[in-house]
Amino acid sequence: MNEHEWRTVASSLVDIRLELQRESYWQRCSARFSPLVRFRAPIDLAGLEVEVVITMKYLIFSLFVFMTFGTASAQTPVWPPSPGHAEVLLWPKEPPDAQPVPKAEYVETTKETVAGKPYVWVSNITRPTLTVYSPKGKNTGVAVVVFPGGGFEGLAIDLEGTEVCDWLTSEGITCVLLKYRVPSLPFDWHCNCRPDNLVTSKLALEDAQRTMGLARLHAAEWHIDPHKVGVLGFSAGGYLVAEISTQFRHRLYAPVDAADKASCRPDFAVGVYPGHLRVGDRGYNLNPNVPVTRQTSPTFLVQAEDDNVDGIGQTLAYYMALKDAGVLVEMHLYAQGGHAFGLRPTKQPITAWPKLVDTWLKTIGML
């Protein structure tokens, strides 16, 4: 069976799962076929690495297939971190509020370039992970959880992820890279649209809250100060920065273990060209799903005035709300830079923003 045929099979299996998950179907069948029994088994077949998860009782079943094709392709399954680093699953079992995705997780290198280089795009993430990057030299004890952007459709995992970790570790800061679940709200893959651009990104925020708890639980093991754990995010990840900086009092999910007893409030936050924060096109009213209070994390914001994706109104709305609440905040706006520049150096002054963050961290006593 060739790669195309296997992809067809995988697509059909997803369709089966979607049909079985319909609420009315489960209401009719749960009484007859409950409880359900789960099986998970990896299979190696004709050069394909296949994982099959079966949930069944009598004639009800659903299959999840994740395939690694031995042939060369522009798309490869499941993003691999750089050598010497390992992904750690966030959730010991199925993540809370799990949702179907169009197909299996994949990784591809884009044709689009930033600073003359393409970037790596990851999507269809149903099993979120974290990857710890530790400083090789001095260790300041500071840690930053990084949220790549991607409009909640996918993640720019190197441009706004691993490259950020390279910078942080060079400064003696531990980087915890979060590969959170996408596609997810505010993006809806069923319609390829955003019905409500201001809705809470529930799945991503659950993953972020869980990661903050894990970082503090493993602080000694990872050689970090549990009182110096911050967050940094780009675009959609910048929205996630604002969400976790304001929605930290209660987990969005039932506690799983000791990690969920630790605070998930960031000790500081960095939002780079954030989105989903401004209500409407006039004025600077803040998204009500980002309830700023005096306890909101100290925040650093940076954006370009010619950002035509998430305009500076996003940053201004959040900045003014933070100022009004008495939160420590610093904002930098540049005339040029556009959107999604990451930290790749160009002739644009805005790409020097990491130096400003370094200074700010010293100003607020983190470094």
pLDDT tops 70 at residue 63: no
Phi-psi sector, 58: left (phi>0), alpha (psi -120 to 50), beta: left
pLDDT tops 80 at residue 225: yes
- 144 three-state secondary structure: strand
Q: What CATH architecture is 75-363?
A: 3-Layer(aba) Sandwich (3.40)
Phi, psi angles (nearest 5°) of residue 273: 35, 60
Sign, CA torsion 2/183/231/89: negative
Q: Order of strands across the sheet with 329-334?
A: 87-89, 129-133, 174-179, 143-147, 229-234, 269-272, 299-304, 329-334
How many residues are recorded in the chain? 367
* pLDDT tens-digit map of 110-127: 999 999 999 999 999 999
Residue whose structure tokens are 């149903």? 126
Residue whose structure tokens are 């959107």? 339
Residue 322, token pair as written in the block:
């933070």
For range 300-319, the mean pLDDT: 97
Give Cβ neighbours of residue 193 (< 8 Å, ≥ 6 apart): 187
pLDDT tier, 226 (very low <50, low <70, confident <90, very high otherwise) = very high
- Cis-peptide into 148, omega within 30 deg: no
- The model carries a pTM of 0.80
pLDDT tops 80 at residue 33: no
CB 107 within 8 A of CB 78: yes
CB 171 within 8 A of CB 358: yes
Q: Order of strands across the sheet with 60-68?
A: 37-45, 48-57, 60-68
pLDDT tops 70 at residue 26: no
The pLDDT of residue 76: 58
pLDDT tier, 46 (very low <50, low <70, confident <90, very high otherwise) = very low
pLDDT tops 60 at residue 23: no
- d(CA 247, CA 242) in angstroms, rounded, equals 8
* pLDDT tens-digit map of 124-156: 999 999 999 999 899 999 999 999 999 999 999
CB 126 within 8 A of CB 98: yes
Delimiting residues of CATH 3.40.50.1820 domain(s) in the chain: 75-363
Residue 50, token pair as written in the block:
């296949």
Instruction: Give the H or E element holding residue 147.
Output: strand 143-147
Q: What is the 3-state secondary structure (H, E, C) of 53-102?
A: EEEEECCEEEEEEEEECCCCCCEECCCCCCCCCCEEECCCCCCCCCCCCC
The pLDDT of residue 244: 98
- The residue ranking higher by pLDDT, 9 or 216, is 216
pLDDT tier, 80 (very low <50, low <70, confident <90, very high otherwise) = confident
* Closest listed residue to residue 223, CA positions, set 126, 139, 328, 158: 139
